[in-house]
Amino acid sequence: MSDLKNFNGIASADLKSYNGIAKADLKTINGLTAASSIIVMEDDFTGETIDTSKWDLASGDGYTTFTQNDNLTINVNNNGADYDDYMISDASVSSGVCAVQFTMNWTEGLGRVGTVGLFRSSTTPSGATLDYHTKLTQRNADDNNDARWDLRLTVDDTAIKTTIAKGNIFKIVYDFSATSVKLYYWNSTVWTQYGATKTSKNLHQGDGLKVGIFGNGNITTDPVVVVDNLYFTNEDYATATPS
């Protein structure tokens, strides 16, 4: 039997091939390639404890609190410094295309509280590093209580004021080669881009990007931002949720 290396004339070849079908480390069977997930990290914020295997938490001035109870609530209780309190994903993406998807809702109030976006992984979040991330921010104008979304891009920290309703599903997509940023919202059956594609000069400088969730300290009353069903991927996608 030659130490079981041959059976009925069929060479086992260390079990890498059988009947002409390559095992290829189980990645291909009968010509069908097993697809790997594009999801780098996801969080539906189930339970009451923030998953520290996914997130690094920092409390700077302590004015922002992040609490979890089947969603993530961001609450600022005073005029603290912007971005002193934050959650940064452990996972990062450094090439190709990356996307962060999430739902976002808020209570009415004056000021701005919550920010979700992409952040340069080599940079410490602070008010001085606004140019190193792109983000979607709940914001209520102090002058007329006009609830609006702001997407602040890294080019001159420019804000795009959108009219997308709260509670929507959002997706921010960054292309490393084109250094471009796109904002999408889920429009019943399809992703719809909001506004023009923007170019970022500072977001990627040879390092990777992480997901950042920040507290903004500029409030006069107490709005609350709720984030849920967050996905971080290393490719863009056309489906309602990535896989």
Does one domain contain both 152 and 170? yes
Q: In 3-state terms, what secondary structure has residue 24?
A: helix
Does one domain contain both 206 and 167? yes
Residue 240 belongs to a domain: no
Does one domain contain both 147 and 43? yes
Other C-beta atoms closer than 10 Å to the C-beta of 39 total 17
Does one domain contain both 28 and 67? no
Does one domain contain both 25 and 107? no
Number of domains composing the chain: 2
Q: At 176, which CATH number? A: 2.60.120.200
Does one domain contain both 100 and 184? yes
Residue 111 belongs to a domain: yes
Question: Any residues with CB less than 8 A from the CB of 52 and at least 6 apart, and which?
Answer: none
pTM of the prediction?
0.78
Q: What is the DSSP letter of 71?
A: S
Residue 92 belongs to a domain: yes
Residue 238 belongs to a domain: no
Residue 128 belongs to a domain: yes
Other C-beta atoms closer than 10 Å to the C-beta of 56 total 11
Residue 86 belongs to a domain: yes
One digit per residue, the tens of pLDDT, for the chain of length 243 reads 444 444 344 444 443 333 443 433 433 434 444 458 999 999 999 999 999 999 998 876 667 788 999 999 988 766 555 556 789 999 999 999 999 999 988 775 555 567 788 888 777 665 545 545 566 665 555 444 444 444 454 444 566 667 777 788 999 999 999 988 898 999 999 999 988 888 887 776 667 899 988 876 555 556 678 899 999 999 999 999 999
Domain of residue 27, residue span: 1-34
